[in-house]
A and B are shown apart, each in its own frame.
Chain A
Amino acid sequence: MTEQANSSMPVENQSPGPSDHQSDEDLRIHIDDSATSPTLLFLATSMVWLIIGSLFGVVVALKFSLPDWLGSVPALTFGRLRPAHLNTVVFGFVSLAGAGMVIWLTGRLCRTHIRWTGLLYISVIIWNLGLLLGTALVLAGYSEGMEWLEFPLIAVVPVALGFVLFAASILKTFANRSVEHIYISLWYILASLVWFPILYVIGNGRFYQGVSQAAMNWWFAHNLLTVWVTPLGLAGAYYFIPKVIGRPIYSYYLGLLGFWSFALFYNWNGLHHLVGGPVPTWAVSISIVASLLMFIPVITVAVNHHMTAFGNLKLVRYSPTLRFVVFGAMSYTVVSLQGSLEATRTMQEIVHFTHYTVGHAHLGVYSFASMILFGAMYYILPRIAKWEWPYPALIKVHFWLTAVGVLLYFVAMEVGGWLQGMAMVNGAVPFIDSVIVTRPWLWGRSIGGVMMTIGNILFAYHFALVVYRAGPIRFAPGWVRKAEGQTS
Chain B
Amino acid sequence: MSLFPVAVIIVAVALVAGALALAAFFWALRTGQFSVRHMNEGALTIFDSTEPVGMPTDQTLQTPQEHPDDRTGKQLNAR
In the A-B complex, list the 3 residue pairs whose CB atoms are closest, starting with the nearest: A16-B49, A210-B1, A476-B76
State the majority secondary structure of interface residues on A. helix
Complex interface: chain A residues within 8 A of B6 (CB):
208, 212, 215-216
* Chain B contacts for A475, CB-based, 8 A: 64, 67, 69-70, 74-76
Return the chain B residue nearest A389 by Cβ: B60
Q: Which of A123-131, A336-344, A350-358, A478-486 contacts B (4 or more CB under 8 A)?
A: A478-486
B27 to chain A, nearest CB (A): 10
State the CA gap A486–B30 with chains docked (Å). Answer: 46
B61 and A11 contacting across the interface, CB-CB below 8 Å: no
Please measure, in the bound complex, the distance between the C-alpha atom of A256 and the C-alpha atom of B53, giving whole angstroms. Answer: 21
19 contacts between A and B (CB under 8 A): A5-B53, A24-B49, A24-B50, A24-B51, A180-B38, A202-B13, A212-B1, A216-B9, A244-B57, A247-B54, A260-B25, A267-B17, A318-B56, A318-B60, A319-B59, A322-B58, A382-B60, A476-B75, A486-B76
Residue from B1, B21, B45 within 8 A of A211 (CB atoms)? B1
- Closest chain A residue, CB of each to CB of B20: A194
Judging by beta carbons under 8 Å apart, are B58 and A318 in contact? yes
User: When the two chains form the complex, which single residue of B42, B52, B78 contacts A1, counting CB atoms closer than 8 Å?
Assistant: B52
A477 & B42 in contact (Cβ 8 Å cutoff):
no
Query: Would you call A33 an interface residue if the criterion is a C-beta within 8 Å of the partner chain's C-beta atoms?
Result: no
Task: Indicate with 1 or 0, residue by residue over A243-280, a CB within 8 angstroms of chain B CB atoms.
Answer: 11111110011011000100100010000000000011
Q: How many residues of B contact A (CB 8 A)?
A: 57
Q: Which of B50, B53, B55 contacts A21 (CB 8 A)?
A: B50
Q: In whole angstroms, how far apart are the Cα atoms of A317 and B61 in the complex?
A: 7
List the A side residues contacting B41 at CB < 8 Å.
9-11, 181
| CB pair B52 A396 closer than 8 Å | no
**A180 neighbours in B (Cβ, 8 Å):** 31-32, 38
Q: Are B46 and A183 in contact (CB under 8 A)?
A: yes
Question: Whole-angstrom distance from the CB of B51 to the nearest CB of chain A?
Answer: 8
Within 8 A of A (CB), among B1-25: 1-6, 9-10, 13, 16-17, 20-21, 24-25
Interface contact tally, CB-CB below 8 A: 197
Which residues of chain A are near B34, meaning CB under 8 Å?
A: 256
User: Interface residues, chain A, CB within 8 Å of chain B?
Assistant: 1-2, 5-6, 8-11, 13, 16, 20-21, 24-25, 28, 108-109, 179-184, 190-191, 194-195, 198, 202, 205, 207-213, 215-216, 219, 239, 242-249, 252-253, 255-256, 260, 263, 267, 279-280, 315, 317-322, 378-379, 382, 386-389, 392, 395-396, 469, 473-478, 480-481, 484, 486, 488
Residue of B nearest to A379 (CB): B58
Question: What is B's interface to A at a CB cutoff of 8 Å?
Answer: 1-6, 9-10, 13, 16-17, 20-21, 24-25, 28, 31-34, 38-62, 64, 66-67, 69-70, 72, 74-79
Q: How far is the CA of A11 from the CA of B44 in the complex (A)?
A: 11
B58 pairs with A252, CB closer than 8 A: no
Main secondary structure of the interface of B (DSSP, over half): loop
Which of B20, B25, B41 has the most A CB atoms < 10 Å from its CB? B41
Report the Cα distance A28→B47, complex, angstroms.
11
Is the CB–CB distance between A392 and B45 below 8 Å?
no
Given A242-B46, A395-B61, A212 and B3 touching (CB < 8 A)?
yes
Can you add 6 more A-B contacts, CB < 8 Å, to A8-B53, A477-B69? A5-B53, A24-B50, A109-B45, A243-B46, A388-B76, A473-B75
* Other-chain contact of B17, A198, A248, A378, A486 (Cβ < 8 Å): A198
- Is the Cβ of B53 less than 8 Å from the Cβ of A388? no
Q: How far is the CA of A263 from the CA of B77 in the complex (A)?
A: 48
Give the residues in chain B near A246, CB-CB below 8 Å. Answer: 47, 51-57
A232 to B17, CA, bound (A): 19
Q: Is the pair B3, A280 in contact by a Cβ cutoff of 8 Å? A: yes
Least CB distance from A431 to B in Å reads 29
CB pair A488 B69 closer than 8 Å: yes
The answer for the CA separation of A208 and B8 in the assembled complex, in Å, is: 12
Most buried by A among B28, B39, B57, B62: B57
- Check A13–B48 contact: CB distance below 8 A: yes
Q: Is the CB of A252 within 8 A of B39?
A: yes
Report the minimal beta-carbon distance from B18 to chain A, rounded to whole angstroms: 10
Q: Which residue of B lies closest to A14 (CB)?
A: B49
Q: Contacts A242-B43, A318-B62, A484-B78 given; indicate if A28 touches B3 (C-beta within 8 A).
A: no
Complex: how many Å from CA A321 to CA B61? 10
**Max chain A Cβ within 10 angstroms of own Cβ: one of B44, B47, B58:** B58
Question: Given A212-B6, A317-B61, are A183 and B45 also a contact pair (CB < 8 Å)?
Answer: yes
Q: Which residues of A sit under 8 angstroms from B5, Cβ to Cβ?
A: 207-208, 212
Residues of B within 8 A of A469 (CB): 78-79
Distance of A269 from chain B, by nearest CB (Å):
13
The residue among A21, A244, A477 with the most chain B CB atoms within 10 A of its own CB is: A477
Q: Which residue of B lies closest to A315 (CB)?
A: B56
A253 to B35, CA, bound (A): 11
Contact A181 B58 (CB under 8 A): no
Using Cβ atoms and an 8 Å threshold, which residues of chain B touch A248?
Answer: 43-44, 47, 53
Measured CB to CB, the nearest residue on chain B to A483 is B78
Which of B3, B31, B49 sits near A20, CB closer than 8 Å?
A: B49
Bound CA–CA A183/B39 (angstroms): 10
Q: A25-B50, A212-B1, A488-B74 are in contact. Are A245 and B9 (CB under 8 A)?
A: no
